[in-house]
């Protein structure tokens, strides 16, 4: 009623009137119904009693209101006597004054001793007393119309201990006047004299104004402002010489007393004479300058990864995530859920505000369960106390314990950054505050006023930083709620921080205040406490203050999970023995997966079939980012249809092969480690051993290029012809080498000022980095702009198994910001391939596009700030991807078998044979050839009947995995129809001696009893990456074409003809003959002589032009849809859905679907009540659809709620031309399919039909 009507329309007046009318009517009704006089008397007695009580309450309330108004007027106009407090002070002063005096003596005397000048022996405060007569408050005048949180009073006070008119004879006998004696001693400690300086008979009168500002926090009085409304009257007796006996009051000296009085007023005037005020911050004084719960610093806490977690699932693996808390407090942060893994990689950083380091940081690992409660997989603890001695701790492994047993470990980084204290200033100046754009914004939300008409409103505050909720206060009831909330917010950029405070009641915002953090701090400094709210009915205010606590974080302001690599570990994986057998009826098919730092780099061996004692003899490289890093080896059993099963794992500590030099000067390698390592099983036992050797090879540091400002300082050098020549792009050939020699001679004549800057050991210039064949390619996968969501990346460098895999992001513009460190063996020929895949519920995730290119070309053409690359699938552009590159050279000598020219395709042309042995009675033979690689038959020629000089002219191609290890041999046999074929001789060719790319002619004598016969062969070896992926789902299967390991028909009719290399790593190699190859047979780099000049001629050199275009170098590829230029109508039919998420209390939902075409809504289906498998069968026709323009269909599934907002059940995006491909203007092109729903799960049954318009 108070909220909707005036008080004149209801209240006690109307109650009394109703009683007067109701009582006669009730009497009449009772009398008519036969009631007697007794009933009437009772009713009249009830009415009389009600009237008496009502009149009594009315008179009492009226009397109180009149008294209150009279007092209010008296307070505003008259001063109030305070004899009661004077009476109290006269008794309390006798007890408190001795304590106060002794405290002053103790404190001041200690200060005087420390500050004694050198020419004096000592200065001591020997006597201090304020006398026995207490100060008096003569009168107080109050101002009741001040703000609700302000108390304003004028006090007349006096301290006249020498006034004895109002003292009794007993008080006079015990009277003590104020006295202060300061003793100054001259001379040394043996011979000297003390000179007392006496101040006594002091008196004081003043007229002061006090302003108390109240607050909801302890001590509930925030500040006290006081000032003198008129200059005070001060009197005293000063005797600097002679003391009590012979001392003379210097006030008798003419002009001296007035001079001292004027100096006193001149000093105190600017401080506390009106309008100037002196402020005491009682809240700060009582709490020591900071709250006990206020943040004293931040801990930057990063969780890299966990390993060997307990599996709590019956089928598959757990879905782990980690909750972070301090001690037994509530959860403060949690990681993302990692699906189906016991070795999750999180790479997540949280900022934790702490008020001390005497706590334990707890990390509890949980298994996410969609049906039941999440189960705990164990807990790991980190003691924050250790950060006092070592503020930054990286690569720390914390054991995860469950019921006292170790259940894995988690890898973390913790760094403590305390609040920076002001810098002290000499000579007693105020400390200089530390300037930092990062720190803690301590916000105090005290209360609000006039936010509602009634006092029954329940409200709370919501504090947001840059639109993100960081704190929510508790509820407070009333129109003027008091929260008293202290909110500490970590701010990375103070200048860009926006603070918003919303007052919420019943899920409705009834008022808000938003401003820049700097503006709020300025208001606090200017004592602007009450802030006007927006969005209310007008007049609402919020009382809020803020304090800035700077924190110096340096380079850690924007922490990155990635640490720069400083070398590589060369891992020679020899063999294994005694592996666990997980097969039935046969042995395991083992391979080994090798993982590096936080699994950012990885490698994999080939699969050896049907053995428990495999031999790999492979070499792998893992980038090293930390001395505390581990290299994990895990053996698996290959499965054709199901998931590969683990055979055990082991870890290697990097600090066994590398150590850091003093003063962080670099890293040096320790002797290589060769060991048989036992493989640890899930139950903690060991089964099988792995034989490997690990060695460390440091990388070179690359000096940063000079900035533009530094380059301008060297304008003289830039004008020099030598410097100008360096800016030109030159070919790497003999002419370049000659020019470098000329430059070296010219540099000798350059003055010292222009000489090249000397670099530290192990550091090279950026322009010299690409001169090193081997190194670490640092790939920064910044993000992408794609035509679909739910994507991730796989990175390949000359491998059919990915070396890095990003996290899945359910957005069309993913921001991965992940860095991969991958070792490049030979920069000249290495190729980078990045697959962008869409996460799918099917067995194999589809590839939606790729980015590929020659690594050297990418490094030469990509700017330092990165570039946009087209994501292409076949000829269609699917989006763009932003990448950054960096190259860290590693001076290492590769083994022959690990060079890229060690594997490839061997084309064998069997020309013929001469002078073979006769095996038949006719004196002839029926010869044919069998060619073998490592003893395994790879080719069998035709049989030439009855001929000792057969001519075959047959060609075949065989893949060679390693020229250094593979044995290529052949055997000539005599064919017999009934008997066993007889051997006519054998031969072999050492593949290491082959000249690459160009044909090699061989005439090989046969080895037999008679050493008779000769075979003529023509061999050509084409270096090429060969896939060993059994599943054919990795790099090799996707990018080496359908015929992986096959070159195709390579004719070798002429010496100069290279032939046609199929869809292999060296694609589109054409004819080289006709004198195009210069210097055939010239020996280049490499253990085998490397690639000849012919290799450079066909495009294997670093000046290839087939690299992928970037936005900085070439225009993007234009995507074209099937059926370009056709205009038609699109019929979209939403048929049904199943397996949707139940979000209502009943476990069901009320689903409906919104359909958008290129962000424009075209259909909203009906709501289907209480079902998870709705059937809509609704459709819409969209006209004007063109096949030469991209069409994206967005289906949003929602749960309908009558009260409250509708809830999202998921969504799916469909690119129309991936499902419909109208090749010609014919009606009936359609697609009927089930589309998975992202988010909460489920799928949609859709029917799409495109009908071209009539011409």
* 49-82: pLDDT as tens digits: 888 888 888 888 888 888 777 776 666 677 777 8
What percent of the chain stands above pLDDT 90? 28
Taking domain 897-1097, whether its CATH number is 2.60.40.150 is answered by yes
How many other CB atoms sit within 10 Å of the CB of residue 482?
18
What pTM was computed for the model? 0.51
| Fold topology of 439-549 | Immunoglobulin-like (2.60.40)
- Residue 132 CB neighbour total at 10 angstroms: 18
Place of tokens 């001795």: 98
pLDDT mean over 1120-1148: 79
Check if the beta carbon of residue 343 is closer than 8 Å to that of residue 294. Answer: no
Q: Is the pLDDT of residue 428 over 60?
A: no
Is the pLDDT score of 835 beyond 50? yes
Domain 1127-1252 grouped into CATH 2.60.40.150 = yes
User: Which pLDDT band, with edges at 50, 70 and 90, does 227 fall under?
Assistant: very high
More confident residue, 744 or 246: 246
Q: Which two tokens stand for residue 1063?
A: 């869809």
Residues 6+ apart with CB under 8 A from 905: 957, 958, 959, 960, 1021, 1022, 1024, 1045, 1046, 1047, 1061, 1064
Whether 415 contacts 299, CB under 8 Å: yes
pLDDT of residue 911: 94
In the prediction, which pLDDT does 581 show?
A: 92
Does residue 345 surpass a pLDDT of 80?
A: yes
The pLDDT of 520-542, averaged and rounded, is 84
Q: Quick one: which of 280, 276, 305, 262 has its CA closest to 409?
A: 305
Contacts 24+ apart (CB under 8 A), 76-83: 76/143, 76/144, 76/145, 78/141, 79/139, 79/140, 79/141, 79/154, 79/156, 80/139, 80/140, 80/141, 80/142, 81/139, 82/137, 82/138, 82/139, 82/140
Topology match between the domains 439-549 and 567-698? yes
Which of the residue ranges 188-192, 578-582, 598-602 would you say has the lowest mean pLDDT?
188-192
Domain boundaries, the chain: 7-77, 83-286, 297-418, 439-549, 567-698, 768-889, 897-1097, 1127-1252
Domain at 768-889: CATH code: 2.60.40.150
Lowest mean pLDDT among 189-193, 957-961, 1159-1163: 189-193
What pLDDT, on a 0 to 100 scale, did the predictor assign at position 289?
47
pLDDT digits over 610-633, tens only?
Answer: 999 999 989 999 999 888 888 999
- At 46 the pLDDT is 85
Per-residue pLDDT at 836: 93
CB atoms within 10 A of CB 902: 24
Q: Taking 60 as the threshold, does the pLDDT of residue 1029 lie above it?
A: no
For position 636, what pLDDT does the model report? 93
**Rg of the chain over CA atoms, in angstroms?**
46
Q: What is the pLDDT of residue 588?
A: 92
pLDDT at 1086: 37
pLDDT at 192 > cutoff 80:
no
pLDDT of 422 above 50: yes
Q: pLDDT at position 106, please?
A: 85
DSSP string, 864-915: TT-EEEEEEETTEEEEEEEEEEEEEE---PPPGGGSGGGSEEEEEEEEEEES
Task: Give mean pLDDT, residues 922-931.
Answer: 93
Picking from 114, 118, 123, the residue whose alpha carbon sits closest to that of residue 194 is 123
Give the model's pLDDT for residue 1100: 41
pLDDT tier at 1077 (50, 70, 90 boundaries)?
very low
Q: What is the CATH number of domain 567-698?
A: 2.60.40.150
Q: Tell me whether strands 701-702 and 763-764 are parallel, antiparallel or unpaired.
A: parallel
pLDDT at res. 737: 54
pLDDT given at position 706? 55
Please indicate whether residue 981 or residue 737 has the higher confidence score (pLDDT). 981
Task: Tell me what the mean pLDDT of segment 941-945 comes to.
Answer: 93
Q: Is the pLDDT of residue 555 over 70?
A: no
Residues 459-514 pLDDT 10s: 899 999 998 898 899 888 888 888 888 889 999 888 889 999 999 988 888 889 99
For residue 108, pLDDT over 80 is answered with yes
Q: How far apart are CA 854 and CA 1039, in angstroms?
A: 14
pLDDT greater at residue 683 or residue 98: 98
What does the pLDDT read at residue 242?
Answer: 65
- For all residues of the chain together, what is the average pLDDT? 79
CATH topology of domain 297-418: Immunoglobulin-like (2.60.40)
pLDDT tens profile 377-402: 999 999 999 998 888 888 888 999 99
Query: Which pLDDT belongs to residue 1106?
Result: 35
pLDDT tens for each residue of 689-732: 999 999 999 999 888 765 444 455 444 444 444 444 444 434 43
Instruction: Check pLDDT > 70 for residue 642.
Output: yes
For 835-839, 901-905, 1226-1230, which range has the lowest pLDDT when averaged over its residues? 1226-1230
pLDDT at 1048: 32
**Strand 1229-1236 with 1243-1252, pairing:** antiparallel
Nearest to 822 by CA among 625, 572, 671: 625
Interval 900-914 mean pLDDT = 89
Give the confidence band of 777 by pLDDT, cuts at 50, 70, 90. Answer: very high
Q: What's the pLDDT at 25?
A: 87
Lowest mean pLDDT: which of 227-236, 862-871, 1057-1066, 1197-1206? 1057-1066
pLDDT the model gives residue 709: 44
What is the average per-residue pLDDT within 743-760? Answer: 48
- What percentage of the chain reaches a pLDDT higher than 70? 80
Least-confidence region, from 527-531, 1007-1011, 1128-1132: 527-531
- Output the pLDDT for position 11: 60
Q: Higher pLDDT residue, 863 or 899?
A: 863
Task: State pLDDT tens for residues 1051-1075.
Answer: 333 333 333 333 333 333 333 333 3
């Amino acid at each position: 009623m108070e909220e909707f009507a005036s008080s004149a329309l209801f209240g006690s007046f109307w109650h009394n009137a109703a009683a007067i009318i109701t009582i006669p009517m009730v009497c009449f009704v009772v009398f008519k119904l036969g009631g007697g006089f007794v009933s009437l008397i009772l009713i009249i007695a009830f009415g009389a009693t009600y009237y008496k009580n009502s009149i009594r309450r009315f008179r009492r309330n009226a009397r109180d209101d009149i008294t209150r108004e009279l007092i209010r007027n008296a307070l505003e106009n008259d001063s109030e006597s305070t004899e009661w407090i004077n009476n109290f002070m006269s008794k309390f002063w006798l007890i408190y004054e001795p304590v106060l005096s002794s405290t002053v003596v103790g404190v001041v005397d200690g200060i005087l001793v420390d500050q004694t000048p050198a020419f004096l022996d000592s200065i001591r405060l020997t006597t201090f007393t304020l006398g026995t007569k207490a100060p008096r408050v003569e009168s107080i005048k109050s101002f009741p119309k001040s703000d609700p949180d302000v108390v304003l009073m004028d006090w007349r006070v006096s301290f006249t201990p020498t006034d004895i008119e109002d003292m009794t004879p007993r008080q006079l006998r015990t009277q003590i006047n104020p006295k202060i004696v300061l003793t100054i001693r001259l001379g040394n400690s043996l011979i000297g004299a003390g000179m007392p300086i006496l101040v006594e008979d002091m008196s004081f009168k003043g007229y002061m104004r006090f302003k108390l500002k109240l607050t909801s926090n302890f001590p509930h009085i925030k500040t006290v402002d006081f000032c003198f409304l008129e200059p005070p009257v001060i009197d005293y007796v000063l005797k600097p010489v002679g003391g009590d006996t012979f001392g003379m009051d210097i006030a008798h000296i003419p002009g001296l007393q007035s001079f001292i009085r004027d100096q006193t007023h001149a000093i105190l005037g600017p401080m506390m004479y009106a309008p100037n005020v002196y402020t005491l911050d009682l809240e700060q004084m009582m709490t020591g300058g900071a709250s006990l719960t206020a943040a004293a610093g931040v801990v930057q806490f990063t969780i890299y990864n966990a390993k060997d977690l307990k599996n709590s699932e019956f089928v598959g693996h757990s879905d782990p995530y980690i909750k972070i808390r301090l001690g037994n407090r509530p959860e403060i942060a949690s990681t993302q859920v990692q699906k189906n893994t016991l070795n999750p990689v999180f790479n997540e950083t949280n900022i934790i505000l702490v008020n001390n380091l005497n706590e334990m940081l707890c990390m509890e690992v949980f298994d996410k369960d969609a049906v039941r409660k999440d189960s705990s997989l164990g807990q790991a603890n980190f003691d924050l106390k250790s950060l006092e001695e070592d503020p930054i701790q990286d690569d720390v492994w914390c054991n995860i314990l469950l019921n006292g047993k170790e259940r894995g470990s988690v890898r973390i980084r913790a760094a403590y950054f305390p609040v920076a204290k002001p810098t002290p200033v000499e000579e007693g100046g105020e400390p200089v505050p530390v300037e930092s754009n990062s720190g803690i914004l301590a916000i105090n939300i005290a209360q609000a006023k006039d936010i509602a008409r009634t006092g029954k409103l329940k409200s709370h505050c919501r504090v947001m930083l840059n639109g993100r909720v960081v704190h929510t206060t508790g509820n407070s009831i009333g129109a003027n709620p008091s929260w008293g909330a202290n909110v500490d917010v970590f701010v990375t950029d103070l200048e860009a921080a926006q603070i918003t405070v919303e007052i919420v009641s019943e899920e409705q915002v009834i008022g808000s205040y938003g401003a820049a953090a700097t503006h709020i701090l300025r208001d606090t400094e200017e004592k602007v406490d009450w802030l006007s709210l927006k969005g209310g009915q007008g007049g609402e205010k919020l009382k809020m203050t803020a304090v800035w606590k700077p924190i110096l974080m340096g380079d850690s302001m924007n922490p990155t999970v990635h640490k720069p690599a400083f070398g590589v570990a060369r891992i020679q994986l020899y063999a294994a023995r005694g592996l666990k057998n997980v097969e039935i009826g046969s042995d395991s098919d083992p391979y080994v997966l090798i993982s590096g730092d936080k699994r950012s780099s990885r490698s994999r061996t080939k699969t050896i079939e049907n053995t428990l004692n495999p031999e790999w003899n492979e070499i792998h490289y893992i980038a090293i980012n930390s001395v505390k890093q581990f290299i994990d080896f895990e053996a698996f059993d290959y499965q054709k249809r199901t998931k590969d099963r683990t055979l055990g794992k082991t870890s290697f500590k990097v600090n066994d092969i590398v150590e850091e030099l003093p003063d962080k000067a670099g890293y040096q390698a320790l002797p290589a480690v060769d060991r048989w390592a036992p493989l640890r099983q899930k139950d903690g036992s060991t089964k099988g051993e792995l034989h490997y050797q690990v060695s460390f090879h440091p990388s070179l540091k690359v000096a940063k290029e000079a900035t533009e400002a530094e380059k301008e300082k060297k304008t003289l050098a830039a004008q020099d012809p030598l410097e100008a020549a360096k800016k030109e792009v030159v070919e790497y050939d003999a002419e370049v080498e000659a020019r470098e020699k000329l430059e070296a001679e010219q540099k000798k004549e350059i003055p010292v000022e222009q000489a090249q800057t000397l670099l530290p050991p192990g550091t090279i210039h950026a322009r010299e980095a690409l001169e090193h064949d081997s190194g670490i390619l640092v790939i920064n996968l910044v993000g992408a702009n794609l035509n679909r969501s739910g994507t991730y990346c796989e990175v390949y460098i000359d491998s059919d198994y990915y070396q890095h895999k990003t996290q899945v992001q359910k957005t069309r513009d993913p921001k991965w910001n992940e860095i991969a460190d991958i070792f490049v063996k030979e920069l000249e020929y290495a190729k980078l391939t990045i697959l962008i895949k869409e996460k799918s519920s099917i067995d194999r995730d589809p590839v939606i596009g790729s980015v590929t290119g020659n690594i050297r070309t990418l490094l030469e053409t990509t700017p330092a700030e990165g570039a946009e690359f087209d994501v292409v699938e076949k000829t269609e552009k699917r989006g763009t991807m932003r990448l950054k590159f960096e190259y860290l050279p590693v001076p290492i000598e590769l083994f022959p078998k690990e060079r890229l020219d060690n594997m490839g395709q061997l084309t064998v042309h069997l020309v013929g044979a001469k002078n073979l042995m006769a095996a038949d009675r006719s004196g002839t033979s029926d010869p044919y050839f069998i060619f073998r690689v490592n003893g395994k038959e790879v080719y069998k020629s035709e049989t030439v009947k009855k001929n000792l000089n057969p001519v075959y002219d047959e060609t075949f191609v065989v893949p060679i995995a390693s020229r250094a290890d593979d044995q290529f041999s052949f055997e000539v046999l005599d064919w017999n129809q009934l008997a066993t074929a007889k051997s006519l001789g054998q031969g072999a060719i050492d593949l290491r001696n082959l000249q690459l790319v160009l044909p090699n002619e061989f005439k090989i004598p046969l080895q037999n009893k008679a050493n008779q016969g000769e075979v003529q062969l023509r061999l050509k070896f084409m270096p090429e990456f060969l896939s060993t992926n059994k599943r054919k789902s990795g790099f090799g299967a996707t990018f080496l074409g359908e015929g992986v390991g096959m070159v195709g028909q390579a004719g070798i009719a002429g010496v100069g003809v290279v032939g046609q290399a199929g869809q292999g790593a060296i694609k589109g190699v054409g004819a080289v003959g006709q004198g195009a190859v210069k210097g055939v047979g010239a020996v280049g780099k490499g253990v085998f002589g490397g690639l000849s000049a012919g290799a450079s001629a066909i495009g294997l050199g670093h000046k290839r032009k087939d690299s992928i275009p970037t936005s900085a170098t070439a225009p993007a590829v234009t995507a074209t849809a099937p059926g370009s230029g056709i205009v038609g109508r699109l019929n979209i039919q939403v048929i049904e859905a199943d397996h949707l998420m139940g979000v209502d209390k009943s476990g069901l939902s009320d689903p409906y679907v919104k359909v958008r075409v290129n962000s424009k809504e075209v259909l909203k289906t009906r709501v289907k009540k209480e079902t998870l498998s709705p059937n809509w069968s609704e459709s819409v026709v969209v006209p004007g659809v063109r096949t030469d323009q991209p069409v994206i269909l967005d289906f949003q599934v929602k749960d309908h709620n009558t009260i409250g907002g509708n809830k999202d059940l998921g969504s799916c995006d469909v690119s129309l031309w991936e499902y419909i491909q109208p090749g010609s203007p014919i009606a009936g092109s359609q697609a009927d399919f089930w589309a998975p729903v992202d988010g909460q799960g489920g799928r949609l049954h859709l029917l799409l039909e495109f009908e071209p318009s009539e011409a």
